[in-house]
Amino acid sequence: MRSPFFVGGRPSGRTRSGGRKEISAKMKTPENQDMGPVYAVLREKAREIAGRLPVADFYRVHGSAIERSRETLQGNALLADVFTLVRQSIENDFGHGLTHARKVARDAGALMLIECEGIGMVPAAAERNLILVQAAGLLHDMRRKERHHAKAGAAFARQALAVFDLTPREVDFVCYAIRNHEAFQRVQPPPRPEATLMSDCLYDADKFRWGPDNFTDTLWDMVTFYNPPLAVFVARYPGGMRKLEEIKSTFRSDTGKRYGPQMIDFGVRIGRELMNVIRTEFTHLI
Ligand SMILES: [Fe+2]
Ligand SMILES: [Fe+2]
């Protein structure tokens, strides 16, 4: 996932090695002002607004699947090794770090369990799919700062997973899911029809993050990275809100289609309220 409020932008503030690059003139704040304190206040406002919303139906209705997914994510040996690999190389300064990866893995696993139960898959196969989609969730944004990050992430995963105890078919499924997770891109043809389920679960879990998570976390991590003037942030805001509306119709699994739009609606509500706060309390900075 990327925050919809920065669709089309590439990070220009820091290199992969962490060194500062020149920030482009378009993004420069007046007199290179550090906007961090302003965005920290806005993050808190957004979190206050989000805290007043009810728990999303997906988490309320499917608590047991989410808990089982969480337990597997914490207790499975293969996933522990994948997590160690991810922790060593993922970049945490862009809103798509470890916290994002773990949330996507958890929700993708829950979606997989629900979908597998829905089609009557045998438990052993469902359990294996759970582990594989969680591996995909942990790995999916490892190349997030690259221009074609889904493609680059799939290539990274293919190389990284070569030393893991997975069959070639399983590696193909995980890499296909990663390759196919980016919003508003043409859906890639699956290596086999059965690979679609894993891809759909990863995509939907990633797009769940365009709901409240966008306003409580991702957006602010990204603006901290870019440090745009508030006027630039505000100018991009309507486009970001439109992207939220557009993503609602793109959920792919039956469960994602049922619950995803509500999460996006929650995000839209937070976004609208937050803009009211900006227009009333921060007009001097716009
Ligand atoms: Fe993501
Ligand atoms: Fe992504």
Same domain for 76 and 191: yes
Q: Among residues 187, 206, 225, which one ends one of the domains? A: 206
How many C-beta atoms lie closer than 10 Å to residue 199's C-beta? 24
Q: Considering its fold, how many domains does the chain have in total?
A: 2
Ligand 2 geometric centre to CA of 228 (Å): 22
pLDDT tens-place string over residues 4-42: 775 334 443 343 433 333 333 344 455 568 888 999 999
Q: Among residues 168, 183, 206, which one ends one of the domains? A: 206
pLDDT at 93: 78
Over the chain, what is the mean pLDDT?
90
Give yes or no for residue 128 having a pLDDT over 90.
Answer: yes
Q: Among residues 146, 180, 206, which one ends one of the domains? A: 206
How many C-beta atoms lie closer than 10 Å to residue 155's C-beta? 17
Ligand 1 geometric centre to CA of 43 (Å): 20
Ligand 2 geometric centre to CA of 269 (Å): 23
Ligand 2 geometric centre to CA of 251 (Å): 15
Domain range enclosing 155: 62-206
* Cβ-based neighbours of 185, under 8 Å, separated by 6 or more: 150
Instruction: Classify residue 14: in a domain, yes or no.
Output: no
> How distant, in Å, are the alpha carbons of 7, 127, 156, 257 from that of 246?
13, 33, 29, 13
Ligand 1 geometric centre to CA of 68 (Å): 21
> How distant, in Å, are the alpha carbons of 25, 73, 92 from that of 79?
42, 6, 19
Q: What is the mean pLDDT of the segment spanning 263-270?
A: 98
Give the domain CATH number at 91: 1.10.3210.10
Ligand 1 geometric centre to CA of 95 (Å): 9
Ligand 1 geometric centre to CA of 143 (Å): 10
Same domain for 121 and 141: yes
Same domain for 170 and 78: yes
Q: What is the pTM of this model?
A: 0.90
